[in-house]
C-alpha cells in the first residue's frame, strides 16, 4: 500500500494547484458549472469517460479494472457556501460572498487524484469504480425535482438511471475534510466510526395563527408570540418524555419571527427549526406526533398552528466492513496512530442517499485538515475555515488504497 502513499506525495504540487484553482472559484449548489468544466477537463486529460449534467452539474465517470468484479462508487461534492472568507490566503475566494467553507474543494481534488492513481493501477483491481461528482450537498432551492429539501445526491440518483441502481452497486465510499481543535480534526489523522455516524435532518415550519389585537388588551386577543415561546419551551420537555433517553435527538428553532411593533398583538408568528436524530424509526415517530403536540398547545391558548415538516437527509450509517478497508490501508500507510475512532454526530450529509437506506455498504471517513501550530483551526462552516494542504495527498492515498483494497 505504501506505493499509493508515495505516488500521492509525488503528486502533491498538482493536487495543491487543483485545490487552489477550485478554492479561488467557488460556486453555490446546482451552479457548479465552472467546477464541473474543470473536472471534465481533468477527466479528459486522464482518458476517463463520463456522463455529465446529471442533476444540472453532476458528473459520473467510470474506470474499469483489469478483470470483472464489484462496483464501488466514490463520491465528492462540489458546492461552496454563501459566506465571506476572512482567512487571508493568497488563493482566497475571488467570488465574493461564496466560500469553500466546508472543504468540498478538497473532496474534488482528492477524487481527481484518486482517479489518476486508479488509472495507473488498473491491473491491481477488478470491477468498476464510479466517480461521482455531486452538486449542492449544502442544500439549495435552485433546483428541486424531489419535493424534499433539495441536496444534490437524491436528484442525481433520480436522474442517473440504472448506473446508480442499488442492485448494481457493491460499495460506496467518501471522505470529508474536517478542521477544528479535536484530535481527529488535525492533519495526519483519519477519523473512522462504525454504525450511526451522521444525523437525519428535517426542516420544521410552524405558523401560529390567531386573532390579533391591542397589546393592552391581551384578554380580547390571542398572543401568537407568547404561544410560540410556549411551544419552544414545551417541545424540549416533550422530547425528554416522549423519546427514549438513550436516543440522541435535537430540535432547534433557529428562527422565530412575529409581530409588527411593541403595542400590537399580531395575527401570526412563524417558527423555523430543524429536527435531527440517529434513528429513522424514531425520526418518523417524532414527525408523526410533533404537529399534534404543537397544535394542541396553540389551541389551548385559543389559537391554532399549521405545521409543515420537510423531509431532508437520511441518517448516515457506516458499514463496518467498508470501514475495515479504510482502517487497514491507513494503518499500513501512516501507522495506527493516525487512526482515530470517532463518535456519531448530528450534522447531516446527503451522501448517504447513495447507500439506498443501507441496502449498499456505505462509509464516510473524516480527513483531518487542521494545523494547530500554524493556527489553522477554523471549523467547517466558519469564516476562518482553512486547511493544511498536506491533507490532500493523505486523502488521495487513503481513498485510492481503500478502493483498491475493496476491489481486489
Q: Which of 359, 344, 369, 46 is nearest to 172 (CA)?
A: 359
Residues pairing with 194 in the sheet: none
Shortest Cβ 351–Zn ion spacing (Å)? 9
**Backbone phi and psi for residue 146, each to the nearest 5 degrees, phi listed first:** -95, -25
**187 within 8 A of 371, measured Cβ to Cβ:** yes
**How many C-beta atoms surround the C-beta of residue 130 within 10 A?**
21
306 is catalytic: no
Of the pair 111, 231, the CB lying nearest Zn ion is at 111
How far apart, in whole angstroms, are the C-alpha atoms of residue 343 and residue 197?
A: 7
The catalytic position among 32, 138, 185, 389 is: 389
Of the pair 80, 294, the CB lying nearest Zn ion is at 80
Kindly state the helix (H) or strand (E) to which residue 269 belongs, with its residue range: strand 268-277
The catalytic position among 4, 313, 334, 352 is: 313
How far apart, in whole angstroms, are the C-alpha atoms of residue 73 and residue 50?
A: 13
The b/e string for 374-388 (b: 16+ C-beta within 10 A; e otherwise) is eebbbebeeeebbbb
Shortest Cβ 104–Zn ion spacing (Å)? 6
Of the pair 139, 303, the CB lying nearest Zn ion is at 139
Mutual angle of helices 320-334 and 391-407, in 10-degree steps: 130
313 is catalytic: yes
Of the pair 59, 102, the CB lying nearest Zn ion is at 102
Of the pair 179, 323, the CB lying nearest Zn ion is at 179
**376 within 8 A of 179, measured Cβ to Cβ:** yes
**Binding residues vs Zn ion (CB under 5 A):** 102
Shortest Cβ 138–Zn ion spacing (Å)? 5
**326 within 8 A of 203, measured Cβ to Cβ:** no
The DSSP secondary structure of 136-181, one letter per residue, reads -TT--SS--SSSSS--SHHHHHHHHGGGG-GGG-SEEEEEEEE-SS
Shortest Cβ 388–Zn ion spacing (Å)? 17
Of the pair 72, 102, the CB lying nearest Zn ion is at 102
**313 within 8 A of 353, measured Cβ to Cβ:** yes
Shortest Cβ 367–Zn ion spacing (Å)? 11
Shortest Cβ 316–Zn ion spacing (Å)? 12
Which of the residues are catalytic? 313, 389
Amino acid at each position: 500500500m505504501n506505493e499509493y502513499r508515495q505516488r500521492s506525495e509525488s503528486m502533491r504540487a498538482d493536487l495543491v494547484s487543483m485545490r487552489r484553482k477550485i478554492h479561488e472559484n467557488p460556486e453555490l449548489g446546482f451552479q457548479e458549472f465552472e467546477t464541473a468544466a474543470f473536472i471534465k477537463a481533468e477527466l479528459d486529460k486522464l482518458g476517463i469517460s463520463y456522463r455529465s449534467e446529471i442533476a444540472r452539474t453532476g458528473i459520473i465517470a467510470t474506470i474499469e479494472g483489469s478483470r470483472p468484479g464489484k462496483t464501488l462508487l466514490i463520491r465528492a461534492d462540489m458546492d461552496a457556501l454563501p459566506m465571506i472568507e476572512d482567512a487571508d490566503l493568497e488563493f482566497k475566494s475571488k467570488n465574493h460572498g461564496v466560500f469553500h467553507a466546508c472543504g468540498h474543494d478538497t473532496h474534488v481534488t482528492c477524487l481527481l487524484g484518486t482517479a489518476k492513481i486508479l488509472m495507473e493501477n488498473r491491473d491491481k483491481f477488478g470491477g468498476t469504480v464510479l466517480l461521482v461528482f455531486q452538486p449542492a450537498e449544502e442544500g439549495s432551492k435552485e433546483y428541486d425535482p424531489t419535493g424534499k429539501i433539495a441536496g444534490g445526491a437524491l436528484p442525481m440518483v433520480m436522474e442517473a438511471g440504472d448506473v446508480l441502481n442499488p442492485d448494481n452497486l457493491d460499495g460506496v465510499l467518501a471522505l470529508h475534510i474536517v478542521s477544528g481543535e479535536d484530535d481527529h480534526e488535525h492533519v495526519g489523522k483519519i477519523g473512522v466510526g462504525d454504525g450511526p455516524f451522521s444525523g437525519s435532518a428535517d426542516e420544521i415550519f410552524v405558523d401560529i395563527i390567531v386573532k390579533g389585537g391591542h397589546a393592552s388588551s391581551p384578554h380580547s386577543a390571542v398572543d401568537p408570540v407568547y404561544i410560540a415561546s410556549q411551544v419552544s419551551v414545551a417541545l424540549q420537555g416533550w422530547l425528554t418524555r416522549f423519546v427514549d433517553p438513550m436516543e440522541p435527538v435535537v430540535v432547534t428553532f433557529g428562527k422565530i419571527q412575529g409581530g409588527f411593533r411593541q403595542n400590537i398583538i399580531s395575527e401570526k408568528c412563524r417558527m423555523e427549526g430543524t429536527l435531527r436524530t440517529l434513528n429513522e424509526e424514531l425520526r418518523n415517530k417524532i414527525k408523526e406526533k410533533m404537529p399534534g403536540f404543537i397544535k394542541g398547545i396553540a389551541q389551548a391558548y385559543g389559537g391554532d398552528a399549521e405545521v409543515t415538516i420537510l423531509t431532508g437527509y437520511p441518517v448516515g450509517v457506516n458499514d463496518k466492513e467498508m470501514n475495515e478497508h479504510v482502517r487497514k490501508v491507513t494503518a499500513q500507510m501512516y501507522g495506527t496512530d493516525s487512526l482515530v475512532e470517532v463518535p456519531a454526530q448530528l450534522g447531516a450529509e446527503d451522501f448517504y442517499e447513495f447507500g439506498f437506506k443501507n441496502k449498499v455498504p456505505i462509509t464516510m471517513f473524516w480527513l483531518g485538515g487542521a494545523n494547530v501550530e500554524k493556527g489553522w483551526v477554523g471549523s467547517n462552516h466558519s469564516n476562518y475555515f482553512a486547511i493544511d494542504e498536506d491533507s490532500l495527498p493523505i486523502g488521495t492515498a487513503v481513498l485510492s488504497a481503500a478502493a483498491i483494497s475493496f476491489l481486489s
